[in-house]
Chains A and B, each alone.
Chain A
Amino acid sequence: MTEVQIYGVCGAGLVGIGLYGAILGRSALRRLLAFNLMGSGVFLVFGAIARRGGIAGGTLSDPVPQALVITGLVVAFAATALAVALLIRLAAVDREEAPPSAEPGSADAPSVATTPSAGSPSAGTSP
């Protein structure tokens, strides 16, 4: 097998694994991770195609798909950062709405308030 086939099939496998994780991930963060795996698989397939085009044109890799993948990687990172911020904000809103032992606005306390599983309603109920 050539590297085009090896990494092309690898990318296809990553899309499958990512899709599985995006459907069945145990937490939102894990589903986000899986979504990134899927994206990375699509990029790898694109990279394998770029390699074919490059060999056909007498260089290492076709520059046009490479440029598109670079653009895609940066946008994927920005989207992931937004999703992470949304998740953290959602957790903070959940905590504010669950009243007991919450400490909204404890003036200038050191910002690392380590609340081991007491602040959230769902943390204690693991199987």
Chain B
Amino acid sequence: MPEIPLPDPRWADLPLALAVLGLALWLTLTRGDRAAVIGFTGYGLLVAVAWVRLGSVDVALTEAALGGGLMGVLLLTAVARLGSDIDQPRPSLPGDLLIGLLCLGVAAGLAAVVLGLPSPAPSLVAAVEDHQAAIELGNPVAAVLIAFRAVDTLLESVVLALAVIVLWSFGADRAWEARPRALDFGEPSPALVLLARLLPPVGLIVGVHLFWTGADHPGGPFQGGAVLAAMALLVWLARLGRPPPVTDGFTRLGIVVGPLMFLLIGLAGAVLAGAFLGYPEAFTKPLILLIEAAKTLSVAVALALLVAGPPALSGALSVRRAGSTETGAKA
């Protein structure tokens, strides 16, 4: 098979950056909230491509799964519930111009800093490479997340668990025993139901694969967990299953098992390896796998529950027609 010469990918950089900026400007200025949210989903995917061009495939996967996927579901359900009400009138033209100029000034200042960065560039690549062999991980980003900056990752998984608890507390008191209902939108279309039957088995494998391959290749607990969460949301949206009530014991266990496992192994490290979050040499790889598996589960459960919303009684959340106020504004 003859090899087709591909164009130099560097040609794509400028058009891609302009597309990202143009889309951001459009979704800031456009009238309809729904259109802006759909634009934001596309924006997430474009930015993911930009991350690939910056050499950060790990970040690109996270951005595509979170910014392009889950964020889209979250914001689309929000716009369906909230409608397109204007709660802040536009300022007069001089005020608008003044704010625009000041924002332009902030952007220009930041751009000047980026263009004038000191040379040679500071780099931690060598430091990571020196110690990477000790923890048997081929992916340097995974090594940083699970070992060299483990405190960040531990705190971050605690933040995720706390976010779910705070979200649940937004529900009305009398709804505490009920299920989350942010994804209730009446009868789902047959196409959605079919998709929710076909896709989850594939998504399950992709999600677990992303977690497993994350040790040596781009991927990891966050990316894998986000894909798994998306599959749960698809099933809930198609009404093939329902989000668990917040009083469910297994759900609560699923949320805390990741941070708890991380914390316990970290504390054990203080005794066995001489430092909090240190790993004893003989068991480094199995311990890391144990933490990452628990974290994948917790990330998946927490992300899915964050989109599913606080517990609510049926009928408590009405859906407003997003179109009605928009057409009214145009007329």
Contacts and interface: CB of A to CB of B under 8 A. Distances in A.
Interface of A: 1, 3-21, 23-30, 33-34, 36-37, 40, 43-45, 47-64, 66-71, 73-75, 77-82, 84-89, 91-92, 95, 103-117, 119-120, 122-124, 126-127
A66 B141 CA distance: 7
Interface stretch (B201-209, B272-280, B307-315): B307-315
A106 B317 CA distance: 12
Q: Name the residue in A28, A73, A107 with the highest tally of chain B Cβ atoms < 10 Å from its Cβ.
A: A73
Interface in B58-109: 58-59, 62-63, 66-67, 70-71, 74-75, 78-79, 81-88, 90-91, 96, 99-100, 103-104, 106-108
B28 interface: yes
A95 B318 CA distance: 10
Contact of A62 (B28, B85, B125, B143): B125
B133 interface: no
Interface of B: 10, 13-14, 17, 20-21, 24-25, 27-28, 31, 33, 36-37, 40, 43, 47, 50-51, 53-56, 58-59, 62-63, 66-67, 70-71, 74-75, 78-79, 81-88, 90-91, 96, 99-100, 103-104, 106-108, 110-111, 113-115, 117, 120-126, 128-129, 140-141, 143-145, 148-149, 152-153, 156, 159-160, 163, 166-167, 170-171, 181-182, 184-186, 220, 222, 299, 302-303, 306-307, 309-310, 313-321, 324-325, 328-329
B78 A112 contact: no
23 contacts: A9-B111, A11-B110, A11-B114, A12-B108, A17-B107, A20-B28, A29-B78, A44-B54, A57-B124, A66-B141, A67-B58, A67-B144, A69-B62, A71-B152, A71-B156, A73-B59, A78-B159, A78-B160, A103-B315, A106-B315, A113-B315, A120-B83, A124-B328
B75 A33 contact: yes
Contact of B124 (A15, A62, A75): A62
B54 A70 contact: no
A89 B170 contact: yes
A11 B281 CA distance: 41
A91 to B, nearest CB: 6
Contacts of B315: 103, 105-107, 109, 111, 113
Contacts of A50: 54-56
Contact of B28 (A5, A7, A34, A51): A34
A61 B144 contact: no
B149 A64 contact: yes
A73 B81 contact: no
B321 A73 contact: no
Given A27-B87, A29-B75, A77-B71, A10 B50 contact: yes
A17 B125 contact: no
A5 B325 CA distance: 42
B314 A63 contact: no
Contacts of B185: 112
Nearest to A55: B121
Nearest to B132: A63
Given A47-B56, A74-B299, A111-B317, A91 B82 contact: yes
Contacts of A103: 315
Contact of B54 (A7, A18, A92, A115): A7
B47 A75 contact: no
Nearest to B66: A77
Contacts of A13: 21, 24, 107, 111
Contacts of B82: 27, 29, 87-88, 91
Given A66-B59, A69-B59, A122-B87, A17 B28 contact: yes
A56 B24 contact: no
Contacts of A58: 125
Given A12-B111, A33-B40, A78 B321 contact: no
Contacts of B13: 1, 3, 6-7
Contacts of B181: 111
